[in-house]
A and B are shown apart, each in its own frame.
Chain A
Amino acid sequence: MAKQGQEIKKESLFKKIRKNKIPYLFISPFFILFAIFLLYPTAYSFYLSFFKWNGTGPKLYVGLLNYINLFANRPFKQSLMNGVIIFLEYVPSMTLLALILASLLNSKYLKLQGVFRTFIFLPYVTATVAVAFSFQLLLDKKYGLANLFLGFFGTEPIGWLNTPNLARICLSSLVTWRWLGYNMVILLAGLQNIPLELYEAAKIDGATPTQSFFRITLPLMKPMLLFCILLSTVGTFSLFEEPYILFLPSRGAGPMDATLTPVVYLYQTGFRYLHFGSASSIAYALFIILFLASLFEIKILGEKK
């Protein structure tokens, strides 16, 4: 009986599609592209994660071995650790800074808002090769501007890019510099959706600007902030371009693998070492970790119902 019911249901769905075939035809390009370029690779890499494969030869089924090996894999564990450290180094400060800048740019007292907005957003659209070269110029131990400046105060030259902790801080700064504008734009959009009447009412009730920031802006911006933090979490563990260009000689790994992010390691494992099975298992392990982290963040920061 149940089976029959399902068949009827299926048929009716099919009928529905047939009845509305023109609209479905119009939206089909997205789904076709989605299936080819996202769904298929995603499913295929899941399949691959149970095999040993060098990219062209025969695939050797190894069961869960790729996943088990990850537990003992030094660079993978190091990359997760790096993700956590880099996240703590830049996400809270960058998000706060983005919110402050967005509030400033949203205030009607500031002139030349468009100019400032453009300048803050500019790093996001700057060519990465130019960025890498500038940061290397800035941070070089002997010829860098940073050490030249510190030298005026008698500081010994610092090997910014050549020691693990400083390398991570440099990377965090580069990421902040590059992504601040992007986050600011998202938050600015959120700010502009807050009705002005709320502030007027607060003002009439005698609230100071600080009070209205903490009592009105912050609570109403919570969903937007959550969105930014979620994106930054995924973004931190998936950092690729920034470490790769800043630490080119080590292909993004940095001193003692200090800037090796999970995605840089995934790339190296796949495309440099040709272990596509392990690379796929890294992708899925990372997916699970990020999924749990996001759930945790939603639970902590999300709206209580």
Chain B
Amino acid sequence: MRRMRMLVLTVVIASLLVVASMGSAFAQETTVTVWAWQFPADCAQASMERFNALYPDINVEWEIMGPGDVYDNLLLALSAGEGAPDAVCLESSHLAQYVALGGLLDITDRALPYYDKMETAKWVEARDEQGRIYAMPLDSGPVAIWYRRDIFGNAGFPSDPESVAELLDTWDDFYEVAKLVKERSGVYMFADPGSSDGRLFEMLLWQQEAGYVDRKGKVVIDSPKAVRTLEWLGKFHKEDLVQDTSPWTAGWYAGIDEGGVATIIEAVWMGGFLWSWITPGSAGNWGVVPLPVWEKDGVRSSNDGGSTYAITNQCPEEKIEAAWKFLEFFTADRQALVAGWRLLDNFPSLMECWTDPLVEEEVAFFGEQKYRKVFTEAAKKIPWWNYTKDYSEMNSIAQVYLTAYNLGDETDAQEALTQAAAEIRARTGRE
């Protein structure tokens, strides 16, 4: 009797299990986990509804954390062999490190159709030495000059974008204007810490296609172009022409908000930060002009930052298709990218977005300027640059020698960069 009861019970449980698994097979809902920080997640949120309507069987589970935590946690998960998300947002500056680690899924065949549709500089870090592709470009960071119309006006300069662009034709002109702005109105031209974080220096080098390494991976941070750039930046620090404060600190925000700086040399995503929370009160006073050039016919474009989406190699086989759908939608769906662009100045790497009517919109915050046009033009000319897997280490080494030069501990720019190059070579094993 007891045995009979056990048998019945087993049959009942077994059939329940079968029904349960059939149920999920009918629903076929796949959950894709995504790690990202607030900025890309906010931009994606604007199109989440469309994504859900298009792919009702894919459920996206966001896990939002600081970018630093994304990198640390991803590293631990890859190292442990489990715990990584299916898809992850990675900045271009960190991407090469994770490609080199072998933690990302090879998506060459799926990504290849988009190869010619994306801004070309974005693919450099997404590929390994064999040319395989591991990430989809999300946004680019074309750089221009954000300037305060009121400060230029008060200093006796014209303040409309056309005239300011003419005024700031070369970086030498920029320096001369900086001196006059400070003299006439007591306002610094821009903010940059004497204790350098290297970011502005890198932007200025990127404009000249003169980064840490050349196309063969050789260290070239001691090149004549780099020396001239450091000498130019050093002048501002030595002559007290720059607000000496670190980006993303209280004094930096205050300088921008209170009109303590006349310009910001920064990428397009700065716009979203400016009007949404750093300085909503100064609406209408801002304008955007292209970068000055280093020599006649030079490139008026550079890049700072920008991110990508990748699938990790821990994404289970049966979920790869869903994870790819997520990647494809949020990096290559024109409407989704334009939504993020409008929302927070998340500039699409997908080039077909650049002809969107959004570009022609006049924006009140920027004095009714079609400011997105400036960045679109700059994006078309972003020079080649490779962050490489050693970027974090090279940047921290450069910081030391740039600071030594800015503070006058090292008086010769060539010597400072020669030392930086030597240390980079010794520590990274590069030529």
CB–CB A251/B250 < 8 A = no
Task: Name the one of A57, A256, A268, A274 contacting B195, with C-beta atoms under 8 angstroms.
Answer: A256
Task: Name the one of B194, B399, B404 contacting A250, with C-beta atoms under 8 angstroms.
Answer: B399
CB–CB B403/A256 < 8 A = yes
A56 within 8 A of B: yes
Task: Name the one of A143, A256, A274 contacting B75, with C-beta atoms under 8 angstroms.
Answer: A274
Count of A residues near B, CB < 8 Å?
34
How far does the alpha carbon of A28 sit from the alpha carbon of B100 in the complex, in Å? 42
How far does the alpha carbon of A56 sit from the alpha carbon of B83 in the complex, in Å? 14
Report if A162-B195 is in contact (Cβ < 8 Å); known contacts: A253-B399, A255-B403, A273-B392. Answer: yes
Query: Interface digits, B249-278 against A, CB 8 Å rule (1 contact, 0 not)?
Result: 111001100001000000000000000000
CB–CB A249/B75 < 8 A = no
* Cβ–Cβ < 8 Å partners of B75 in chain A: 55, 271, 274
Q: How far is the CB of B104 from chain A (nearest CB, A)?
A: 11
Report if A142-B255 is in contact (Cβ < 8 Å); known contacts: A136-B249, A162-B193. Answer: yes
Can you list 25 A-B pairs with a CB-CB distance of less than 8 A?
Answer: A54-B101, A56-B79, A140-B245, A140-B249, A141-B245, A142-B251, A143-B250, A143-B251, A143-B260, A159-B195, A162-B244, A162-B245, A162-B246, A162-B407, A248-B246, A248-B249, A249-B197, A250-B399, A251-B396, A255-B403, A255-B407, A256-B404, A268-B396, A271-B71, A273-B392
Task: Name the one of A137, A159, A163, A273 contacting B393, with C-beta atoms under 8 angstroms.
Answer: A273
A161 within 8 A of B: yes
Most buried by B among A57, A136, A250: A250
A272 within 8 A of B: yes
* Cβ–Cβ < 8 Å partners of A249 in chain B: 193, 197, 246-249
How far does the alpha carbon of A158 sit from the alpha carbon of B278 in the complex, in Å? 25
Query: Interface digits, A245-262 against B, CB 8 Å rule (1 contact, 0 not)?
Result: 001111101111100000
Q: Identify the closest chain A residue to B249 (Cβ).
A: A136
CB–CB B79/A55 < 8 A = yes
CB–CB B194/A159 < 8 A = yes
Q: Identify the closest chain A residue to B254 (Cβ).
A: A143
CB–CB B251/A56 < 8 A = no
CB–CB B393/A272 < 8 A = yes
How far does the alpha carbon of A251 sit from the alpha carbon of B199 in the complex, in Å? 13
CB–CB A272/B400 < 8 A = no
* Cβ–Cβ < 8 Å partners of A161 in chain B: 195, 246
B243 within 8 A of A: yes
Known: A133-B250, A140-B254, A256-B400. 13 other contacts (CB 8 A): A142-B244, A143-B251, A143-B254, A159-B195, A161-B246, A162-B246, A163-B194, A249-B246, A255-B407, A256-B409, A268-B396, A271-B71, A273-B392
Secondary structure of the B contact surface, majority rule? helix
Most buried by A among B249, B255, B260, B399: B249
CB–CB A272/B392 < 8 A = yes
Query: Interface digits, A38-60 against B, CB 8 Å rule (1 contact, 0 not)?
Result: 00000000000000001111000
How far does the alpha carbon of A217 sit from the alpha carbon of B103 in the complex, in Å? 60
Q: Identify the closest chain B residue to A78 (Cβ).
A: B400
B224 within 8 A of A: no
B172 within 8 A of A: no
CB–CB A250/B79 < 8 A = no
Q: Identify the closest chain A residue to B78 (Cβ).
A: A56
Q: How far is the CB of B424 from chain A (nearest CB, A)?
A: 12
Q: Identify the closest chain A residue to B423 (Cβ).
A: A74
B97 within 8 A of A: yes
Report if A250-B251 is in contact (Cβ < 8 Å); known contacts: A55-B101, A142-B243. Answer: no
Report if A136-B251 is in contact (Cβ < 8 Å); known contacts: A56-B78, A268-B396. Answer: yes
A223 within 8 A of B: no
Q: Identify the closest chain A residue to B197 (Cβ).
A: A249
A190 within 8 A of B: no
CB–CB B78/A55 < 8 A = yes
A86 within 8 A of B: no
B72 within 8 A of A: yes
How far does the alpha carbon of A142 sit from the alpha carbon of B191 in the complex, in Å? 11
CB–CB A141/B251 < 8 A = yes
B102 within 8 A of A: yes
A167 within 8 A of B: yes
How far does the alpha carbon of A225 sit from the alpha carbon of B246 in the complex, in Å? 38
* Cβ–Cβ < 8 Å partners of A250 in chain B: 195, 197, 396, 399
How far does the alpha carbon of A136 sit from the alpha carbon of B78 in the complex, in Å? 36
How far does the alpha carbon of A133 sit from the alpha carbon of B249 in the complex, in Å? 7
CB–CB B248/A167 < 8 A = no
Question: Nearest 10 pairs between A and B by C-beta?
Answer: A140-B251, A255-B195, A249-B197, A162-B195, A137-B250, A143-B254, A273-B393, A272-B392, A136-B249, A249-B246
CB–CB B423/A253 < 8 A = no
Most buried by B among A163, A249, A253: A249
Task: Name the one of B79, B246, B396 contacting A253, with C-beta atoms under 8 angstroms.
Answer: B396
* Cβ–Cβ < 8 Å partners of A271 in chain B: 71-72, 75
Q: How far is the CB of B93 from chain A (nearest CB, A)?
A: 11
Q: Identify the closest chain A residue to B258 (Cβ).
A: A143
Q: How far is the CB of A241 from chain B (nearest CB, A)?
A: 13
How far does the alpha carbon of A254 sit from the alpha carbon of B407 in the complex, in Å? 13
Query: Interface digits, A131-174 against B, CB 8 Å rule (1 contact, 0 not)?
Result: 00100110011111000000000000001011110010000000
CB–CB B399/A274 < 8 A = no
Q: How far is the CB of A180 from chain B (nearest CB, A)?
A: 24
**Cβ < 8 Å to B, chain A residues 55-90:** 55-57, 74
